[in-house]
Each structure stands twice: as structure tokens, then as C-alpha cells.
Structure 1
Amino acid sequence: MNYAGLVEEILKKYKEELGISDEVRVKIKKYKTRSAFINLKTKTIFINENLLELGEEVVKYLIVHELIHLKLNNRYHSAEFNRILYTYISPEKASEIRGLIANKLMTIMQTSKTKIPEPRPKSTGESAFNTTPSGKLSGA
């Protein structure tokens, strides 16, 4: 799927509907824990690339959500924010989409866990663990 075209189409439509005339940029990047966010100073929306595969409704939700922050010029989820959001996406649908996003982010976090590193040697050149004459480990 051409996500760039989809993102631009949704951005254009909802900027117009929300009465936003400013230039808004969208950057797509991979994040482990974030779905999307907006830099209000640069008017740049950042969307988690890993979430695009969840489909058009999720992309619409992410863009509309961030555009509302821009329209209100704040990052709060106030009653006014929700009133505007629910004009475009029903509360039930928004809740369903948030669940899809949360599940995807949990999967990303679980599959990206790295092994716990071994203890580092002390700066004196000694090992962090020493062996006793019997071959057993002892903490340093």
C-alpha cells in the first residue's frame, strides 16, 4: 500500500475540515512505545511507521488526533479535544482503534527486548566476578 499517498490524502482532508491553513508536515519513523505525536512549534506530526499496517482507520485516527492538538494549540486531552475528536470518530471506534494501537505497541516492545548484558569488568582491569580456588564464582 502507498502509505505516503494515504497520509497526504487524510492530512489534506482533515486540515481543511478542521480549518487549519498552516503548512503541516508529517514524518514517518519507527518507535517502540509511541504511536504519534506533534511538535506544535514546527507543526510536524510524527507517526509510528509500525502502525501504518493497521489500516486506513488507524492512520486517520492518528492524523486527526494530532491535528486537533494543533488546532487547539495544546497537547491536552480536554473535553473540547474529545468533543472535536468524536465529531470525526465515534467514541466506540476511537476506543477500538486505541486498543489496536496498544496491542501493536505491546507486540513491538516484547519482540524488541534485548538480552541482559553480562556484568562489565571493573575499571581496574579486574573482572566483576572472581573465581575462588574451588572454581566457584564470588562477587567482587
Structure 2
Amino acid sequence: MPEGLARQCGIAAPALIETLTRFNEAAARGEGPELGKGSTSYQRYLGDAEHRPNPCLRPLEGPFYAVEIYPGDIGTSMEPDITAKGEVRDRQGKVIPGLYACGNGINSIMSDAYPGPGSTLGPALTFGYVVGQSAAV
């Protein structure tokens, strides 16, 4: 559970467990005091309307995963184009065997738009997972 994840990430297990416990207790009350999740009508509108008392929060249960994210500059070339499995296509649209891509280096699902900070993290993590699964086959 959290102890194993803490060990793999090189962080103190008691600190992770204490943070998780504190978060879960607040989430059960519908509170997100550290980041204010669900504190605005806009946030609540974007949350899960079926979840109460706060549509933006719920206590967390395992299994737990972690991904190390590094800050950096953003840029996109609108290329390369990829398949649903993350396989890179050449300019003629043919798959290049064994070449995969994800993140800000691919043709963005948001086209030439950038909605705001962090908006590309979800697609990057999702396609990173898909690419890992595809490449492992």
C-alpha cells in the first residue's frame, strides 16, 4: 500500500501515510483545505455532480501510483501525428515500426490551442501509459 510506494519514491512512509490520512479525513467531510478543491461554484460545476458532499473530492483508496513530473518550457510543432497506440506516423500517414511518442512532442489533441497551465499533463500521462503498454507488446 502507501508504504511500498513511499519506499519506491524515496520518501518517508510515515509522512505519506499522515498526508493521506489527513486528506481522506478532510475529503470525507467535503473539505479540501490545502488546495481549496470544490471551494468555488466553477470547480463544483466541473466535478462529479453525483458525489457528495463535495463533487471535487473523495477519500483515496489504493492501489496508489506515482509519476515524477519535471518542469520545463512548453512548445509544440503540431507533429508528429500518432495512432491511438502512440505509434508515430510518417508524412504519408504510415506507421514507423517501433517508434512511439507522447507528451508535448506530438500533434496535440488540443490542436494549436493551449487552454492553460497543466492542461497537457493529463494527455501526456494517458498517452505515456498507452505507449508503454503498446511498446511492451
More strand by share: 1
Greater C-alpha radius of gyration: 1
Whether TM-score is above 0.5 comes out as no
| TM-score band, normalised by shorter chain | under 0.3
Higher helix share: 1
Give the structure-2-normalised TM-score. Answer: 0.25
The TM-score with structure 1 as length reference comes to: 0.25
